[in-house]
């Protein structure tokens, strides 16, 4: 079986995150405001001052430093801000004039819970933008910091932060290909499937409560969903042939997948709750690896109808597919940005695969955004449309990396013995 057919076709988490009690997470009240200082897509970084956190009743300096470090890393990696760290902002300090806002916080222990008292104040006048008390179990301090970071991003930019998102991927580190989930910063690793078989192509439901994937656990590759809170698995699409590359629709009501029989593979849509599948493509050959547009009306997918794997776009309700990529001999595994302006994909080069992007209209050229060494492929967008997760063979080791598309800033998420592939970035969990 060809690599194209095999990989492309087969190719407490959010629930726990919701368990942390966050007091007062509501739209801005009459004495709060959103600055929305990033407008019209500009990538100019915003000057932000971050004060040292103070030690509150019952807490230790270690408690405070743990929360502060996570928050600081979240804000750095968001790539929205230029951060100046100060012990305490004092009148006359130059950053009080040049900064847009100052982040302040204290950590205390109250009734067995860790409480982060966080606030964001506008500069230079120190007007309150918002203040929150974030209370959770002490061992969930990272979640507390993530929530504060996401609120800062939201109030400063109008965008949702990604600090509470997760990334699913496939690894065979146990000897079998199982699905794992990890926090966006590489912490909180958890194995999701335990069937000691081959599990592939994970994709998230929009509410972050389920993952859909392909599994060989009954011998024949079929599509299942798993509920992350309960671990309950459910068959979605099975029967003759290879059911693979599943993807939830943006509204969560449907699942798009490929069905391969013999030498041909076509795309189908099935209700997420179960039911009769509806055929989307009818061109013959290999049609696989679909990704929904953010509005749910179109899909980008891989087809070999031109003689080699290229990307095409079609309406989910029918129509004539339009070829999207023309450069290179092998383009595959597309991911449509949640903001709708780019499609990321795997593009074969002379020394391996690289991650590339293209405008879905096809009007702008295709461009590489990773450079190796080692193959880098299977990109998946963060819900902010600014970051990508992808698998990499850099240095001879299989890893999952995350990348800020505009700056090129990247960091290794997970690595180790065995393979790490098929990254899938979750949406933003409900507040």
Average pLDDT, the chain: 89
Classify strands 420-425 and 46-51 as parallel, antiparallel or unpaired: unpaired
Question: CA 93 to CA 88: how far, in whole Å?
Answer: 10
96-110, 272-286, 301-315, 346-360: lowest mean pLDDT where?
Answer: 272-286
Q: What is the pLDDT of residues 24-81, one digit of tens each?
A: 334 444 444 455 444 434 468 999 999 999 999 999 999 999 999 999 999 999 999 9
Residue linked to tokens 């933008």: 129
| Residue 220 near residue 235 (C-beta atoms within 8 A) | no
| Residue 355 near residue 375 (C-beta atoms within 8 A) | no
DSSP state of 5: I
Distance of CA 20 to the CA centre of its chain: 21
The CATH class, in words, for 3-11+164-425 is mainly beta
pLDDT of residue 262: 78
Share of the chain above pLDDT 90, in %: 73
Nearest to 272 by CA among 257, 242, 252, 302: 252
CATH ID of 35-157, from 3.40.50.10070, 3.30.428.10, 3.90.1150.10, 1.50.10.10: 3.40.50.10070
| Residue 157 near residue 37 (C-beta atoms within 8 A) | yes
- Cβ-in-10-Å burial (0-12, 13-18, 19+) of 288 comes to buried
Q: What is the pLDDT of residues 345-377, one digit of tens each?
A: 999 998 889 999 999 998 888 999 998 788 999
pLDDT of residue 5: 40
Cα dihedral: 325, 283, 296, 423 (round 10): -60
- Cβ-in-10-Å burial (0-12, 13-18, 19+) of 324 comes to buried
Does 122 have pLDDT greater than 60? yes
Could you write out the three-class secondary structure of 157-175?
HCCCCCCCCEEEEEECCCC
| All structural domains of the chain with their residue ranges | 3-11+164-425, 35-157
Does 192 have pLDDT greater than 70? yes
What is the pLDDT confidence band of residue 333, given thresholds at 50, 70 and 90?
Answer: very high
pLDDT of residue 374: 82
Question: CA 382 to CA 386: how far, in whole Å?
Answer: 7
CA–CA distance from 118 to each of 76, 121, 147 (Å)? 17, 10, 10
What is the pLDDT confidence band of residue 233, given thresholds at 50, 70 and 90?
Answer: very high
Does 306 have pLDDT greater than 90? no
């Amino acid at each position: 079986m060809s690599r194209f057919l095999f990989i492309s076709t087969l190719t407490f988490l959010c629930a726990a995150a919701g368990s942390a009690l966050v007091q007062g997470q509501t739209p801005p009240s009459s004495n709060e405001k959103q600055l929305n200082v990033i407008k019209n897509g500009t990538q100019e970084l915003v000057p932000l001052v971050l004060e040292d956190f103070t030690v509150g009743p019952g807490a230790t300096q270690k408690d405070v430093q743990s929360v502060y470090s996570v928050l600081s890393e979240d804000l750095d990696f968001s790539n929205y801000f230029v951060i100046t760290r100060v012990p305490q902002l004092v009148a006359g300090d130059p950053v009080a004039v040049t900064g847009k806002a100052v982040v302040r916080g204290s950590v205390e222990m109250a009734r067995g819970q860790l409480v982060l008292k966080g606030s964001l104040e506008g500069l230079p006048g120190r007007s309150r933008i918002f203040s929150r008390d974030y209370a959770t179990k002490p061992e969930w301090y990272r979640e507390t910091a993530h929530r504060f970071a996401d609120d800062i991003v939201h109030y400063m930019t109008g965008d949702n932060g990604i600090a509470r998102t997760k990334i699913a991927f496939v690894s065979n580190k146990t000897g079998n290909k199982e699905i794992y989930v990890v926090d966006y910063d590489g912490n909180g690793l958890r194995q999701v499937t335990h069937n000691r078989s081959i599990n592939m192509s994970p994709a998230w439901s929009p509410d972050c409560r389920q993952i859909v994937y392909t599994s060989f656990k009954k011998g024949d590759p079929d599509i299942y969903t798993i509920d992350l809170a309960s671990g309950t698995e459910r068959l979605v699409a099975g029967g003759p042939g290879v059911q693979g590359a599943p993807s939830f629709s943006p509204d969560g009501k449907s699942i798009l997948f490929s069905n391969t029989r013999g030498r041909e593979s076509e795309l189908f849509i099935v209700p997420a709750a179960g039911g009769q599948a509806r055929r989307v493509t009818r061109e013959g050959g290999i049609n696989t690896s679909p990704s929904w547009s953010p509005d749910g009306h179109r899909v980008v997918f891989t087809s070999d109808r031109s003689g080699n794997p290229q990307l095409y776009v079609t309406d989910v309700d029918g129509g004539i597919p339009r070829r999207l990529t023309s450069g290179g001999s092998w383009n595959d595994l597309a991911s449509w940005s949640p903001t709708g302006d780019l499609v990321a994909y795997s593009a074969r080069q002379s020394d391996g695969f690289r991650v590339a992007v293209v405008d879905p209209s096809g009007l702008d050229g295709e461009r590489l955004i990773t450079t190796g060494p080692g193959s880098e492929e299977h990109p998946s967008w963060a819900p902010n449309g600014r970051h990508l997760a992808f698998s990499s063979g850099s240095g001879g080791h299989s890893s999952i990396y995350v990348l800020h598309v505009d700056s090129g800033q990247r960091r290794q998420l997970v690595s180790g013995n065995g393979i790490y592939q098929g990254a899938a970035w979750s949406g933003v969990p409900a507040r």
